């Protein structure tokens, strides 16, 4: 059976994606050849993007974060657009994403479970005041709230738990899906990668440039670019 036929026969598709969904928008992923983890830093990005580092080296965290994690110029690509179209047509139940860039919403998608949070939400740790990603991008040094509190992005850093409601919604959607598309993810970040095990539907498809641990377990494997396949 072809990918196209599976799509046509499905009405409750769930898309589970990762950083590879946004590389065609110009945002590097973490683990590919040209990914962020292959670049040379004095402190590894895995360390910088941890909760401990955020609180102990806040200024250095923000220097890296502003430089590498705020691609506010990026636009949705063919994959983001097709998924938004499927949702409008009533074929797509939800998107479960590990991405934090907000490009699915920018493309028009509504039911998006952001397992690792979003750069577009930032809050003061003292009074809870909201700040946009643009405000963080424009700030310098350590961004502070007018109340004096430290502002933290609502991005799940290493060492932090996932948001319970988001996890519940994501697992529920995967459980009720008749088709699961896993794309643009190395499936190496847990617990997120484990959520696809809740799928009980008919068709499972993997679209990823490199091989993943899911290749042997799904109905169809496409080692291609996700934007190209979806368009």
CB of 219 vs ligand NAD, minimal distance in Å: 18
Pick out residues in 134-173 that bind ligand NAD (CB under 6 A): none
The CA–CA distances, whole Å, from 74 to 140, 145, 189 equal 21, 27, 24
Q: Rule CB under 6 A: is residue 87 a binding residue for ligand NAD?
A: no
Q: Between 19 and 84, whose beta carbon lies closer to ligand NAD?
A: 19
Beta bridge partners of 144: 150
Is position 188 an interface residue for ligand NAD (rule: CB under 6 A)?
Answer: yes
Residue 8: how many CB atoms within 10 A of its CB? 10
Residue 23 makes contact with ligand NAD by CB under 6 A: yes
Rounded Cα distance between 22 and 38, Å, is 18
Question: Which residue of 15, 16, 30, 195 would you call a contact of ligand NAD, by CB under 6 A?
Answer: 30
80 assigned to active site: no
User: Which of 151, 208, 214, 221: binder of ligand NAD (CB under 6 A)?
Assistant: 208
The one among 24, 104, 109, 204 contacting ligand NAD by CB under 6 A? 24
Q: How far apart are CA 19 and CA 164, in angstroms?
A: 22
* 62 interacts with ligand NAD by CB under 6 A: no
Q: How far is CA 181 from CA 5, 42, 230, in A?
A: 14, 37, 11
Q: Which of 57, 80, 104, 116 is catalytic?
A: 116
Q: What span, in angstroms and rounded, lies between the C-alpha atoms of 223 and 118?
A: 28
- Tell me, by CB under 6 A, how many residues bind ligand NAD: 29
- The reply to whether 114 sits near ligand NAD by the rule CB under 6 A is no
**How many Å apart are CA 92 and CA 13, to the nearest integer?**
5
Instruction: Report, in Å, the least distance between residue 115 CB and ligand NAD.
Output: 7
Q: Which residues of 27-51 are buried (b: 16+ CB within 10 A; e: fewer)?
A: bbbbbbeebbeeeeeeeebeebbbe
Is 81 one of the binding residues for ligand NAD (CB under 6 A)? no
What amino acid positions are annotated as catalytic residues? 116
Rule CB under 6 A: which residues touch ligand NAD?
18-20, 22-24, 27, 29-32, 35, 98-101, 116, 184-186, 188-189, 207-210, 225-227
């Amino acid at each position: 059976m072809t990918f196209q036929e599976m799509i046509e026969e499905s009405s409750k598709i769930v898309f589970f994606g990762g950083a590879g969904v946004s590389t065609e928008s110009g945002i590097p992923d973490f683990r590919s050849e040209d990914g962020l983890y292959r670049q040379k830093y004095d402190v590894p990005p895995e360390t910088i993007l941890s909760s401990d580092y955020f609180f102990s080296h806040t200024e250095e965290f923000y220097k890296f974060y502003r430089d590498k994690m705020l691609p506010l110029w990026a636009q949705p690509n063919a994959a983001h657009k097709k998924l938004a179209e499927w949702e409008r047509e009533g074929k797509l139940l939800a998107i479960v994403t590990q991405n934090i860039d907000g490009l699915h919403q920018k493309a028009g998608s509504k039911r998006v479970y952001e397992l690792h949070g979003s750069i577009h939400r930032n809050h003061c740790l003292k009074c809870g005041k909201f700040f946009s990603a643009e405000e963080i991008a424009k700030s310098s040094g350590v961004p502070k709230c007018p109340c004096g509190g430290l502002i933290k992005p609502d991005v799940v850093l290493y060492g932090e738990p996932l948001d319970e409601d988001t996890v519940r919604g994501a697992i529920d959607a995967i459980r009720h899906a008749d088709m699961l598309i896993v794309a643009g993810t190395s499936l190496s970040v847990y617990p997120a990668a484990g959520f696809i095990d809740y799928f009980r539907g008919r068709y499972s498809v993997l679209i990823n440039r490199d091989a993943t641990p899911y290749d042997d377990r799904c109905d169809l494997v496409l080692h291609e670019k996700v934007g190209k396949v979806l368009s």
